[in-house]
């Protein structure tokens, strides 16, 4: 599987390492044309406003929507989760508007801007160490969205068909099971395309 990491801003190299550890070929994506050869795309953490602005500037919005409409998987982590969402609390405009959920940015407040915890994730056997950095929460999801993980009763990971999103940074630990989960999604999607 060849998986791209959207390389406009944010934690790109770490995701590439994670995807390679999970057995995929991983590439940094800077140009729209590069989407064509991919089986999946990661939108990394960083600053969602900046990533969204650069996606508009370099005309990524419609091509990524088309990529998703073809059933190819997208994985948004932290800021990338915000970029995938249909609705962002307190903002009139969202970015890709692909995933039926409302997100709250910087949801943990000053005291707990960054922290780590062990999370149970549906579809993954043992808990995963999750690193949260100025992380968003998923406040509400539509009927087609499967909640994969919660932290203190708030949603921190979810899936809607070919779309996967988490509030934390799976690329910042050396446990790459969530990347492997995503590579499996890409493999299944590729199998159903032929």
Ligand X SMILES: NC(=O)CC[C@H](N)C(=O)O
Give the H or E element holding residue 129.
strand 128-133
Residue 48 interacting with ligand X (CB under 6 A)? yes
CA dist., res. 50 & res. 69, Å (int): 24
Residue 170 interacting with ligand X (CB under 6 A)? no
Nearest to 9 by CA among 72, 53, 66, 41: 53
Residue 18 interacting with ligand X (CB under 6 A)? no
Among 46, 73, 76, 170, binds ligand X (CB under 6 A): 46
169 is an active site residue: yes
Closer to ligand X at the Cβ: 134 or 187? 134
Residue 76 interacting with ligand X (CB under 6 A)? no
Tokens of residue 111, six digits: 């005291």
CA dist., res. 7 & res. 12, Å (int): 6
Q: Which of 15, 166, 171, 179 is catalytic?
A: 171
Q: What are phi and psi of 119, to 5 degrees?
A: -120, 140
Angle at 25 between CA 23 and CA 28, to 5 degrees: 130
Residue 167 interacting with ligand X (CB under 6 A)? no
Residue 134 interacting with ligand X (CB under 6 A)? yes
Among 15, 72, 105, 159, binds ligand X (CB under 6 A): 105
**Taken in order 156, 182, 10, 7, is the CA torsion positive or negative?**
negative
Residue 101 interacting with ligand X (CB under 6 A)? no
Among 133, 147, 180, 190, binds ligand X (CB under 6 A): 133
**DSSP classification of residue 124:** -
| Least gap, CB of 17 to ligand X (angstroms) | 17
Tokens of residue 64, six digits: 């990524």
Say whether 126 counts as a known binding-site residue. Answer: no
3-state secondary structure of 107: coil
Q: Hey, which residues are catalytic here?
A: 78, 169, 171
Binding-site members for L-glutamine are 46-48, 105, 133-134
Binding-site members are 46-48, 105, 133-134
Binding residues vs ligand X (CB under 6 A) = 45-48, 78-79, 82, 105-106, 133-134
């Amino acid at each position: 599987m060849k998986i791209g990491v959207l390389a406009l801003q944010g934690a790109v190299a770490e995701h590439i390492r994670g995807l390679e550890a999970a057995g995929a070929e991983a590439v940094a994506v800077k140009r729209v044309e590069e989407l064509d050869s991919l089986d999946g795309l990661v939108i990394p953490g960083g600053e969602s406003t900046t990533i969204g602005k650069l996606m508009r500037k370099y005309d990524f919005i419609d091509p990524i929507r088309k990529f998703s409409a073809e059933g190819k998987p997208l994985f948004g982590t932290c800021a990338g989760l915000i970029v995938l969402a249909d609705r962002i609390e307190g903002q009139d405009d969202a970015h890709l508007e692909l995933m039926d959920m409302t997100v709250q940015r910087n949801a943990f407040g000053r005291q707990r801007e960054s922290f780590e915890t062990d999370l149970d994730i549906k579809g993954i056997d043992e808990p995963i160490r999750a690193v949260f950095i100025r992380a968003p929460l998923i406040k509400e999801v539509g009927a087609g969205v499967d909640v994969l993980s919660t932290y203190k009763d708030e949603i921190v990971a979810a899936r809607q068909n070919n779309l996967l999103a988490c509030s934390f940074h799976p690329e910042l630990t050396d446990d790459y099971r969530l990347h492997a989960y995503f590579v499996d999604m890409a493999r299944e999607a590729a199998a159903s395309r032929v």
